[in-house]
Amino acid sequence: MAPKGICSFLKSMSKWISSNLWMESKISKELGVKKKILFCTHHMSHAASAFYPSPFENSAILTIDGVGEWTTITWGEGKGNHIELKEELKFPNSLGLLYSAFTYYTGFKINSGEYKLMGLAPYGEPKYVDIIKKELIHINEDGTVILNQKCFNYITGTKMINQKFCKLFGGSARKPESKITKREMDLAASIQEICNECVVKMARYVKQKTNCNNLVLAGGVALNVVSMGVLKRECEFENIWIQPAGGDAGGALGSALWVWHEYLKQERKVQETDSMESSYLGTEIKDDSEEDTKLLEELGATWENFEENNLIKKIANILASGKIVAIARGRMEWGPRALGIDLF
């Protein structure tokens, strides 16, 4: 994008030259080995994280995020221990980056505040949908999007949006931690409706192309539980499985599984529910555990022990007073949407 992209170029190339280009030797040094390091592409790691742990022998695959390398969306199919990605959408057109632009505009942090924007959506009205479709994007029949780059700044600059974007919605972006207004609620509702529409169209397109009964998903947009709920209700797939750590953290799992099954040709054993055992992969809390009691004492915590019946009454009284109760039992879940095994 020269010469306009000079600021973005200078900001990114220093990291590439000093770190990214030497990643293989850095990994070898940290691991203390001199063996070949295998690299998996970003969206293949998403696809592998979704398909290999799933309970399906055969499945359609859909990955949607901001951008990985140059790819923003892929679809493909998994059979046995093999994955084939068929088509992709490339940067700068991205549903994930579009959602992040509104995350930034409504005053939340990109790549971490998207769930807040999603949670804000039910409080608003989708009054900006027509403006978004007219001025910002074109939605193709397959659900992919073309973004009007005249309103964005993430290619050549260091911010997601520009003044043209702000003028469309009545002013500057909300300052972080400032009061949330009806405008932010309506913006959240609007971009959520756009996201829902795109995801459903993508899934229908993939269903038409693969004729599979099963669908697995990963990528940051797959963590949008509202869109996933709409997809479950409106899509023609019989079964849907979503990687609980659908973001980049799940890419580590996907890369490892990709090497195991694709590179080393190891057999894949399909399990009911899923091979991740519902993502309960963390440490475990046990009743009357000396280790847990010792930890609580070291933390200086205050606690009481209750019998089950008394515990239920205690919870009911706290809820009746308008407070929130969280209960931790068993193993911790893995993934950014994990809320624990029991949450009231």
pLDDT digit string (tens) for 221-240? 999 999 999 999 998 899 99
Cβ proximity of 103 and 88 under 8 Å: no
Write the DSSP symbol of residue 222.
G
Q: How confident is the model at residue 342 (pLDDT cuts 50, 70, 90)?
A: very low
Position 304 pLDDT exceeds 70: yes
More confident residue, 278 or 159: 159
- In Å, what is the CA distance from 325 to each residue of 26, 182, 283, 287, 314? 45, 29, 21, 19, 10
Give yes or no for residue 262 having a pLDDT over 50.
Answer: yes
Residue owning tokens 């702000």: 166
pTM above 0.95, yes or no: no
Closest CA to 101 of 181, 186, 188: 188
Q: Give the mean model confidence (pLDDT) for residues 325-331.
A: 81
Residue length of the chain: 344
pLDDT (tens digit per residue) in 49-78: 999 999 999 999 999 999 999 999 999 999
Q: Which domains does the chain carry? A: 1-13+37-278 (3.30.420.40), 284-343 (no CATH)
How much is the pLDDT for 344? 35
* Average pLDDT along the chain: 92
Q: How much of the chain exceeds pLDDT 70, in percent?
A: 98
Average pLDDT over residues 193-222: 97
Measure the CA–CA gap between 293 and 128, rounded to whole angstroms. 52
Q: Which of 52, 46, 53 is nearest to 273 (CA)?
A: 53
Does residue 201 register a pLDDT over 60?
yes
Contact 224, 65 (CB under 8 A): no
For the four alpha carbons of 234, 237, 239 and 243, in that order, the dihedral sign comes to negative
Return the pLDDT at 243.
Answer: 95
Q: Name residue 143's amino acid.
A: G
Residue whose tokens read 């519902």: 278
* Distance (Å, whole) CA 67 – CA 145: 13
**Distance (Å, whole) CA 98 – CA 191:** 8
Residue 222 φ then ψ, to 5° = -70, -15
- In angstroms, what is the C-alpha Rg of the chain? 23
| Contact yes or no for 7/157 (Cβ under 8 A) | yes
With pLDDT > 90 as the criterion, what percentage of the chain qualifies?
Answer: 72
